[in-house]
Amino acid sequence: MGENRNRPTARLSGLVREVMRRPVRWGLLEIAFWVAAVLSWFLLPERHLILTEIVGLAIFVLSIDLILGFAGIVSLGQAAMYGAGAYASGLLSIHVTGEPITGLLVGALAGAVVAFPTSFLLLRGGDLTRLMVTLGVAAVLYELANQTGWLTGGADGLQGIAIEPLFGRFEFDFYGRTGYAYSLAVLFVLFVLARLITASPFGISLKAVRDNPLRASAVGIPVHARQVAIYTLAGAYAGVAGALYTQTQQFISLDVLSFQKSADGLMVLVIGGTGYLYGGLIGAVVYKLIQDGIATLTPQYWQFWVGILLVAFVLIGRERPRQLVDRIAARLRRPAPQPSAEPASRAVVPGQQEV
Amino acid sequence: MLTLLFDGLAYGMLLFVLSCGLAVTLGLMNFINLAHGAFAMAGGYVTVLLTNGMGVPFLLTLPIAFVVAAVLGLVLERLLYVHMYDKSHLDQVLFTIGLVFVSVAGIDYVMGSQQQILSLPDFLRGRVEVAGVGIGIYRAFLILVCGLLAVALQLALTHTRFGSRLRAAVDDRRVARGLGIRVNTIFALTFAAGSGLAGLGGALGAEILGLDPTFPLKFMVYFLIVVSVGGTSSMMGPLVASLLLGIADVFGKYYVPSLGGFVIYLVLVAVLVLRPQGLFARAG
């Protein structure tokens, strides 16, 4: 080892390894976040239902963050995969088995099956093409679910979903005790997985693709393969979110495939901040609290205020919350090496890369 | 068969008037405006309110709808949109979705969520039989009005100074600016005119398309299809695209009702997959 230190390539690869490992470490704030999440199960027993909704939303938004925040693919149709997962797991529980874990896996599979062919449609073309294609795919699925009423229940929704106890032991009760713990566990597993993926060389190459596809391909990153892979993975994530929704609500309406669903997801992600995994989680918490608060004030017109919020948010600058979190995190980190260690991780949205 | 074609034509013409403003916005400033339908809805509600509520003649309400939507467009452009031009597409999408939500919930609050029924004047109702083809008078009226508008727009674009400045700005904003063309002013005016046309389209279409608070969401996809299929380089692209879309939609709903609304989405995805670049072929 002492010999290697003198060789420049070895030193360089050591540096690279150091840089690559940096995002893998768990920060103080992160640990606090998850401790708080676990504590909420014990301390807020009467809020379990809304907490479950928050967790489900967080997974859905996590899937959008994977493609938008990390790979720079804009999408208005993430509901396609969410709905596919929801319906797949719902139909599974009605016709085959109500075992929850199988349901999640089937949901993930359904999401990935929808996402994989779609991703090829997104490889070429600019932002608008992508928006339109994702929107179109989600709209096709929506109409499909609407028309095949014999299978999906159509506009009446899919009813009669019965979920067996988790591990044959924990009943999904009315108060959402099991449901919340289960959702939280699923979120944690998916989150850790996403964390590993985004910190891996694969994840770093994704960011390179996001920031400048042309340069990324010039340094030898297979841009298209990366985009297909991440879109399919995000589809699986959205599928899991949909399956989780089915299992905790035990009812599916057509709304799971609606444009509204995709737009909501995008909104939540933007509230929390794109390009870092906690954006989706923080956004989901904030969004649900806001929605809950406004809905108690004006039950019918909460959408109005959400719209105002969105407009104001974009006008003020949507990178602000992220900066706040970064600043807190930087203060908690004892030695502050550079004021901003990673300028590249700022949420840069594609379509404007200088070529 | 021919009646269907005629209906499709009228529908397509209507779509053209509704979405040509969006084509210019997108082409000129590369701005993705999902809230375009909100202006159309504004125009529709103006007409419905004036004819049903105050007894203003229908034909007179059409220019009023145009003006109201245009003024609304101008105000919003100067106040809000102008901050959005330099932002990313994602920001633009979020911003305009926010506007759509506000308009949907706002109209719901003010007017209620029910479908608005427009009572057409008698001379525009009914059908006539021409050479064995049943023709709705209102649809013929639509084709006439929208056709005249399309011709007028094309002439304005190609034969006026404003039109040539606008085309120059679309082709290359920076060079146009360098030549002393006031791109921002042109854009504000064009935005207002486009919004006004959308309002006019909404007024004309209130009877055919139906008018309720979810209008901007329901037809957003149609406008975007027209623009993305037709391109933004001339008025001909969106016109052809709207006519195709209108006819395809009417035929699809008539002959294969079980496929319902999703013929157009399949067509959209197919077109975008086959010609993803050519459709937005813009210098840049």
At B67, the amino acid letter reads V
Q: How far apart are CA A110 and CA B93, in angstroms?
A: 28
Residue A350 has pLDDT above 50, yes or no: no
Query: Bigger pLDDT: B71 or A324?
Result: B71
Decide if B20 contacts B235 (C-beta within 8 A): yes
Q: Which residues of B touch A144 (CB under 8 A)?
A: 262
Helix axes B89-111, A302-316, angle to 10 degrees: 150
Strand partners, B128: B135
Q: Which of A99, A120, A138 is nearest to A259 (CA)?
A: A138
The sign one gets for the Cα dihedral B151, B155, B158, B162 is negative
Give the chain A residue whose CA is nearest to the CA of B99: A307
Q: pLDDT band at residue A322, thresholds of 50, 70 and 90?
A: low
Give the chain A residue whose CA is nearest to the CA of B106: A304
Q: Which of A73, A75, A76, A128 to mutate to test the interface with B (most CBs of B within 10 A)?
A: A128
Name the B residues in 235-264 with CB < 8 Å from any A CB: 258-262
pTM of the model: 0.78
Tokens (6 digits) for A47? 């809020």
Q: Where are the domains of chain A?
A: 27-258
Query: What integer pLDDT is reported at residue A355 of this predicted model?
Result: 37
Q: Which residues of B touch A310 (CB under 8 A)?
A: 94-95, 97-98, 101
Residue B215 has pLDDT above 60, yes or no: yes
| Nearest neighbour of A143 by CB, restricted to B98, B99, B261 | B261
Query: Bigger pLDDT: B256 or B91?
Result: B91
Q: How far apart are CA B140 and CA A41, in angstroms?
A: 65
Helix axes A28-43, A320-332, angle to 10 degrees: 100
Q: Is B32 part of the contact surface with chain A (CB cutoff 8 Å)?
A: yes
| Nearest neighbour of A136 by CB, restricted to B105, B260, B265 | B265
Q: Is B83 part of the contact surface with chain A (CB cutoff 8 Å)?
A: yes
**What value does the mean pLDDT take over residues B259-272?**
71
At B137, the amino acid letter reads I
Q: Where are the domains of chain B?
A: 2-219
Q: What is the DSSP letter of B118?
A: P
Query: What integer pLDDT is reported at residue B85 of this predicted model?
Result: 77
Strand partners, B135: B128
What interface predicted TM-score (ipTM) does this complex get?
0.72
Among the ranges given (A21-25, A202-206, A268-272), the one the predictor scored with the smallest mean pLDDT? A21-25
Strand partners, B127: B136
Q: Is B151 part of the contact surface with chain A (CB cutoff 8 Å)?
A: no
Among the ranges given (A64-68, B33-37, B153-157, B253-257), the one the predictor scored with the smallest mean pLDDT? B253-257
Tokens (6 digits) for B133? 């083809």
| Nearest neighbour of A351 by CB, restricted to B83, B89, B262 | B89
Decide if A37 contacts A30 (C-beta within 8 A): no
**Average of per-residue pLDDT values in chain A:** 77
Residue A60 has pLDDT above 80, yes or no: yes
- Helix H, strand E, coil C: the string for B5-59 is HHHHHHHHHHHHHHHHHHHHHHHHHCCCCCCHHHHHHHHHHHHHHHHHHHCCCHH
The sign one gets for the Cα dihedral B202, B208, B213, B214 is negative
**What value does the mean pLDDT take over residues A299-323?**
75
Decide if B34 contacts B223 (C-beta within 8 A): no
Query: What integer pLDDT is reported at residue A321 of this predicted model?
Result: 65
**What value does the mean pLDDT take over residues B44-58?**
82
Strand ranges (E), B45-185 = 127-130, 133-136
Give the chain A residue whose CA is nearest to the CA of B263: A140
DSSP string covering A54-112? HHHHHHHHHHHIIIIITT----S-THHHHHHHHHHHHHHHHHT---HHHHHHHHHHHHH
Give B155-206 pLDDT, tens digit per residue: 888 888 888 888 788 777 788 888 888 888 888 888 888 888 888 888 888 7
Q: Which residues of A touch B101 (CB under 8 A)?
A: 303-304, 306-307, 310
Give A95-147 pLDDT, tens digit per residue: 777 777 888 888 888 888 888 888 887 777 677 778 878 888 888 888 888 77
CA dist B229 → A99, B19, B45, B98, B274 (Å): 45, 12, 29, 25, 11
Q: Which residues of A touch B90 (CB under 8 A)?
A: 68, 74, 127, 270, 274, 349
| Nearest neighbour of B269 by CB, restricted to A76, A137, A318 | A137
CA dist B90 → A10, A207, A237, A347, B34 (Å): 41, 17, 21, 11, 11
Residue B283 has pLDDT above 60, yes or no: no
CB contact under 8 A, A303 and B87: no
